[in-house]
Structure 1
Amino acid sequence: MTDEQPRTGLQRTSEAAFERLEAVTTAADADAFVHVGDRFDDDLWYLTRFAGPDRDYAFVFVDGRAFLCAPRLFAEQADREFPGEVVAASDATSSTAADRALDVLAERRPPSEVRVLVPPSIPASAARTIEDAVDDVRFEDVDLGRARKSVAERERHAVVQTAAQQGLARAEAVLASATVEGDELRWRGEALTTERLRREVNATLASEGVRDAGNTVIGAGSSCADLHFTGRDRIAPDETVLLDLSPRGSQGYYADLTRTFVVGDVDDWTSRAYEAVATAQDAALDALRDGAGVRASRVHEAAVETLASYGFEAGDVAVGMSHGTGHGVGVSLHEPPSLSSDRVLEDGAVVTVEPGVYDPERGGVRLEDLVVVTADGYENLTAYPREIHPVDGRTR
């Protein structure tokens, strides 16, 4: 990236990761860090902000400097997006991304004398190339500081979460306007299915400028107990309809939002489950009120204790809550910190709070908000009501 081009907030976030790499390599008595991957590698995206090709390219950090070994056809794009130095492949080169990374290293010190940190996730072929050329290669997971979001990252999460709420409002409007005919719901003259509802949601997400990323989970009745249901199921009256939306924005950051509805009558089990989950979510959020420094597991424990008071178990169970209360969200949909871990939550952590209970015979209920842990509490990025009966005309 040229000095004349102003850094964006997200590029400055990557520059902060470079500073962290300097400390990590120094602490590990290493000379360099090398990563190889493509645009689907979230760590590489986080480091480079380069929306490159679906073939391998390389990132090198050595002597306090960050380099992106970009394919020739992507050199101009890399120069715009990467907050470091771009090394583009020449027209004649047939070398691999790992070879080009080694060339960058060789310009600074002999490969036989360099000590290199490499993440275990790089492609096996790249790992072999680096091992063949470098005597001291250490495959280690490196904490890039992704769990602590910058102000720019939090803003991106907020934008995408707002779009997710628009998608949910569209689904709620469809459910509210559906008619009951016998044992099925009908909408615009046809049976309403989870697939029809998913298409309406995804069209709205696209109009908001975000991608559904294949993550629009909609279950009805028994399929609500399938935590990642993306298939086709008919939607019947008097049963739970669970919508979990996790779109991804153009800058790579995810939203995460879940609500559960019933069109028609709410039976006793569903009413108790909904009250239990809503109360458990409140308890989990209350555990976050002290902000940074809270142990993640305390949030989970607060939800589990509340569900237990309603008679719902948690853990490896067929009926009850079979998952943790939440997880970190960033350029990956699921990333640290898990709210089931003993990790201390940092200022800037973006996490979901999503208790749920499920019964394959009766359906399921989940409510999920996306929040930012702050120094003295939390900020809820979600402003969507929790009501079991769908309403038309929601606004964000």
Structure 2
Amino acid sequence: MSGQPERPVDPVIPTTRLSFLRRAIDDADARAFVHVGDRFDDTMRYLTRFSGPDRPYAFVHVPADSQEPAGGGGRAILCAPRLFREQAEREFVTAHVTVDAVDRSVRSHAAGEPAGVRAVEALDAVGVTTGSVLVPQHIPHDAAVYLQQAGYELQSTSAVAEQRAVKTDMELDRLQIVQTAATAGMARAETVLAESTEINDELRWDGDRLTTGRLRREINAELAARGVRDAGNTVIGAGKSAADLHFTGDAAIDPGETVLIDISPRGPHGYYGDLTRTFVVDGDGGWERRAYVAVESALDVAFAELAPGVTAASVHAEAAAELAAYGFPAAEEGEAGFTHGTGHGVGVSLHEAPGLTGDTELQPGHVVTIEPGVYDPDRGGVRLEDLVVITDGGAERLATYPRSIVPSTDRFLD
């Protein structure tokens, strides 16, 4: 264990205010918003906070009309399979009772009935039988067909993605919990590396050859102890495989090579963390040391650039320029150099808006990774990554973790 006290996961379900949908519907001169998805659809998870099942269900939002009392927030309906009604009532209705003025309700149906049909029935039940309906760009094709066959005109909207990009205080708290768990996982990995010994040009730990697979299992056990799961996202590369941005295989870890560890766990409320560090056991101070110094400097430069009103692309440009100044220019994937963007948004998706390569202006509440890296297919890779939130005065890390290319057993975190 890392020595870090465990922080229990907050059982309170995060909430989503739906007033932004009213604005999107009004701006588009539409009559309602509809989405269909399952528990793995992050848009549906954000809108409803409903965590099951693994087959499609529907969400319908209809804004208030002139017949509602002043301040009415309209109606939101979750169409859930009958076996999940109690859970849907708890997570979608009860947990949101004091959030806003929206009248939330659950309509249940037999398992296997098409969710698109249930959406049409819900619209009809609240008097929306014709007109334009807003849908996310990724609504399932069959659901779109059912809506169109019922006579509705579909308009695509990015309103949910835009709303998700700016995090509330409650969301920031959930993100911080998961990121703190990621630091504990990293501390465990660093301890294992520091305790490993070199025998006949091999690294051994606890009597056996140390591999990326074994190190991954140690990390994931630490995450589980803190109430989060790895979600299949614990990426560890060693030597040449460290130049593979998404290596999840099992490879031996040898002395003197880069060990790149990228931990992206997911908490029970759906929010992700994201933390990367790179270590070398018994290094000789060659390419990997030069790369580490360059990446560390690029991380500091990019972090200093973060502030409200700054464009995402400018953050990437600063990081890329710093790496180039150290002799590590931008490159295509598979080549030597800086081969990816400087960062991306994180929330209920591991990758969401805003990305750090476009013209989007950063604003308070945006949560992004800062992760410059350099890679050489013949030597390995070095990447450092922190998760930060944009604030009124610049940016803050959601959790801190030390930076050192030499692994240490002395990581007692706050």
TM-score (norm 2): 0.89
Other structure's SS at 2:176 match: helix
- Cα shift readout 1:60-117 (whole Å, capped 9, x = no counterpart): 01133211111111111111111352323246x8632211211111123352x22111
| CA distance, structure 1, for counterparts of residue 237 and residue 20 of structure 2 | 42
- Worse-matched range after superposition: 61-70 or 155-164: 61-70
Check whether the contact 1:75–1:86 (CA below 8 A) recurs between aligned residues: no
Check whether the contact 1:166–1:395 (CA below 8 A) recurs between aligned residues: no
Is the aligned partner of 1:350 residue 2:367?
Answer: yes
| CA distance, structure 2, for counterparts of residue 189 and residue 98 of structure 1 | 57
| CA distance, structure 2, for counterparts of residue 193 and residue 94 of structure 1 | 44
Alignment of 1:108-257 (within 5 A): 108-109=126-127, 111=129, 113-144=130-161, 145-257=163-275
Unmatched 5+ stretches in structure 1: 1-6
Aligned partner of 1:74 among 84, 92, 95? 84
Check whether the contact 2:31–2:128 (CA below 8 A) recurs between aligned residues: no
Aligned partner of 2:277 among 259, 265, 279? 259
Query: Residue 107 of structure 2 aligns with which residue?
Result: 88
Check whether the contact 2:213–2:250 (CA below 8 A) recurs between aligned residues: yes
- Matched AA of 2:236: I
Question: Kindly tell me: are residues 110 and 158 of structure 1, through their superposed partners in 2, closer, same or farther at Cα, counting changes over 3 Å?
Answer: closer
Is the aligned partner of 1:307 residue 2:311?
Answer: no
Aligned partner of 2:408 among 386, 391, 395? 391
Alignment of 1:20-59 (within 5 A): 20-59=20-59
| CA distance, structure 1, for counterparts of residue 270 and residue 259 of structure 2 | 28
Alignment of 1:7-18 (within 5 A): 10-11=14-15, 14-15=16-17, 18=18
| Distance apart, 1:36 and its partner CA | 0.3
- Matched AA of 1:187: W
| CA distance, structure 1, for counterparts of residue 128 and residue 50 of structure 2 | 28
Query: Residue 104 of structure 1 aligns with which residue?
Result: 122
- Worse-matched range after superposition: 133-142 or 259-268: 133-142
- Worse-matched range after superposition: 316-325 or 206-215: 316-325
- Cα shift readout 1:193-249 (whole Å, capped 9, x = no counterpart): 000000000011001110100000000000000000000110000010000000001
Identity %: 55
RMSD: 1.6
Alignment of 1:261-340 (within 5 A): 261-288=279-306, 291-316=307-332, 318-340=335-357
Question: Kindly tell me: are residues 153 and 336 of structure 1, through their superposed partners in 2, closer, same or farther at Cα, counting changes over 3 Å?
Answer: same
| Distance apart, 1:365 and its partner CA | 0.4
Other structure's SS at 2:159 match: coil
Check whether the contact 1:32–1:116 (CA below 8 A) recurs between aligned residues: yes
| CA distance, structure 1, for counterparts of residue 284 and residue 30 of structure 2 | 61
- Matched AA of 1:380: R
Query: Residue 4 of structure 1 aligns with which residue?
Result: none
Check whether the contact 2:344–2:353 (CA below 8 A) recurs between aligned residues: yes
| CA distance, structure 1, for counterparts of residue 80 and residue 218 of structure 2 | 38
Other structure's SS at 1:213 match: coil
Check whether the contact 2:89–2:106 (CA below 8 A) recurs between aligned residues: no
Check whether the contact 2:88–2:106 (CA below 8 A) recurs between aligned residues: no
Query: Residue 374 of structure 1 aligns with which residue?
Result: 391
Check whether the contact 2:13–2:91 (CA below 8 A) recurs between aligned residues: no
- Matched AA of 1:156: R
| Distance apart, 1:143 and its partner CA | 3.7
- Matched AA of 1:168: M
Other structure's SS at 1:379 match: strand
| CA distance, structure 1, for counterparts of residue 302 and residue 327 of structure 2 | 17
- Cα shift readout 1:11-38 (whole Å, capped 9, x = no counterpart): 1xx11xx111100011001001100000
| CA distance, structure 2, for counterparts of residue 150 and residue 119 of structure 1 | 21
Question: Kindly tell me: are residues 264 and 48 of structure 1, through their superposed partners in 2, closer, same or farther at Cα, counting changes over 3 Å?
Answer: same
TM-score (norm 1): 0.93
| Distance apart, 1:8 and its partner CA | 5.5
| CA distance, structure 2, for counterparts of residue 371 and residue 260 of structure 1 | 19
- Worse-matched range after superposition: 63-72 or 198-207: 63-72
| CA distance, structure 1, for counterparts of residue 12 and residue 23 of structure 2 | 23
| CA distance, structure 2, for counterparts of residue 325 and residue 76 of structure 1 | 43
Which portions of structure 1, spanning 4 or more consecutive aligned residues, are displaced by more than 6 angstroms? none
- Cα shift readout 1:265-322 (whole Å, capped 9, x = no counterpart): 233211110000000000001101xx21111111111111110110111142511110
